[in-house]
Structure 1
Amino acid sequence: MSTLADASPIDLDRLRATPVADAPFAHLIVPGFLRADVRDAVEADYPKIDKPGSIPLFSVTSGPAFQRMIDALRGPEMTAAMSEKFDLDLAGRPTMVTVRARCRAKDGQIHTDSKGKLVTVLLYMNGGWEAEGGRLRLLNGPDSLDDFAAEVPPDAGTLLAFKCTPDAWHGHKPYEGPRRAIQLNWVVDESYVRREQRRHGLSAFLKKLPFAS
């Protein structure tokens, strides 16, 4: 007989049932992707981070419930589902994961993800989000945060996934304070992973220094 500990913490059936939206670029939004019955345990095991910015997963410590979730996100069934959704062969492609815990007022500026990324997945880990800032907007172009086709509140368990294309502009209005997010990327090759790990590792080290903000 299976137990709660044996069950996947992510709802792949919900993901598979969610259609890909084409505008403003290929994406899907899945509220409730992280199962409600594991959210408290995952939140309790979330890495203890007191600095802003993206922190590479290898540089932090987390608990078992959080790690089970990461293992499921990087597992073959998730890879197959993303491959099908975005018409990409992601099997065998490297993945990398970063985590965030705090947001600065300067975060969320309009950008696209780097060319080495194939698919970006964001999984949010916050309670009911009431602030106007911090809601990721999928933009029609690079000119304005108010010109958006979709907006994603960073509520606990909500997943956003999108194909990393040159027109995948996104950003959010300023927010300062706690804002938990896990970012998973399938990337082109291992050299990209090593380069990004060095970059994020240096950034994380600098953030630990007393003068960092």
Structure 2
Amino acid sequence: MIQPVIPDYAALEAATVSPEPFAHAVVPDFIRADDLRALAASLPVIRSGGSFPPQALGLTPLMAQLVDELQQPRLRGIIATKFGLDLDDAPTMLTLRGRTRAKDGRIHRDSACKRVTVLLYLNAADNAAWSRHEGCLRLLRNGHDLEDFAAEIAPVNGTLVIFPNGPDTWHGHRQYVGPRHTIQLNYMANDASARNELRRHRLSALTKRLPWVA
């Protein structure tokens, strides 16, 4: 029987919501060091860029347990309370990324049908790229200048980043090519556009499981 990964919910509850450049919370070591070491051997092998639904990957039992844990009511409730949101009926959409391409990280806002974005970084801190600020998430003050940021978060050590989406939630990172493991969880709007995206997500899961898809 696997030893389940239980994130540090107390640290999330204690985390401060920073208002600049938009409301967000950062929780270092949300995945504790011992659990992160166990997960290092369980990360899915993802050889191409893009986001993958869990159903499209052969997850180990430990990774599957973590993916399930993140979609439970406990995390939803803490986030809703911390940001003053009603997420009771919000559908969830979860994807995993394992490799960043040269074109990734460009300045963008997430889709309007994603009410809240949650990012969990599962990378070790010993990659020299992070010290060069490559691949480090930047929360930006505008939609055109990657160097005008209010916060920069290295994608390491089980760090959790949360922000409700809005018209000014610009973010991106300096170009980085290579392994970069991220779990992205979104609480979705309960409207037609969100339902369409969830349907595309499910179709993507089926398509990426086909043998001729890399």
Q: Structure 2 length as normaliser, TM-score?
A: 0.88
* 1-structure distance, mates of 2:8, 2:17: 16
Alpha carbons of 1:63 and 1:211: their partners in 2 closer, same or farther (altered >3 Å)?
Answer: closer
Residues in 2 aligned to 1:204 and 1:180: alpha-carbon distance in whole angstroms: 22
Partner residue of 2:161? 160
Quote the offset at 1:177 in angstroms.
0.7
Partner of 2:71: 74
Report the alpha carbon displacement of residue 42 of structure 1 after superposing the two structures with TM. 2.0
- Give 1:12-91 correspondences, 5 Å limit: 12-91=9-88
**1:149 aligned onto 2:147:** no
Question: Which residue does the alignment assign to 1:195?
Answer: 197
Superposed CA offset, 1:18-39 (max 9, x none): 0100000010111100121211
Identity between Structure 1 and Structure 2 (%): 41
- Output the CA distance in 2 between the equivalents of 1:108 and 1:210: 28
Measured after TM superposition, the shift of residue 193 of structure 1 is 4.8
Partner secondary structure for residue 10 of structure 2: helix
CA distance in 2 between partners of 1:146 and 1:30 (Å) = 23
2:120 paired with 1:123: yes
Q: Output the amino acid matched with 2:17.
A: V
SS of equivalent residue, structure 2 residue 128: coil
Report if aligned partners of 1:35, 1:157 keep a CA contact under 8 Å in 2: yes
**1:41 touches 1:66 (CA, 8 Å); kept in 2?**
no
Q: Following TM superposition, by how much is the alpha carbon of 1:9 offset from its aligned partner in structure 2, in angstroms?
A: 2.0
User: CA shift at 1:190, angstroms?
Assistant: 7.5
The answer to whether the 8 Å contact 1:56/1:197 transfers is no
CA distance in 2, matches of 1:187, 1:130: 35
- The one-letter code of the counterpart of 2:174 is K
Measured after TM superposition, the shift of residue 210 of structure 1 is 8.3
Normalising by structure 1, report the TM-score: 0.88
* Aligned positions, number: 209
CA gap of 1:69–1:165, structure 2 versus 1, over 3 A, is same
Structure 1 Cα separation of the partners of residues 22 and 59 of structure 2:
33
1:184 match: secondary structure: strand
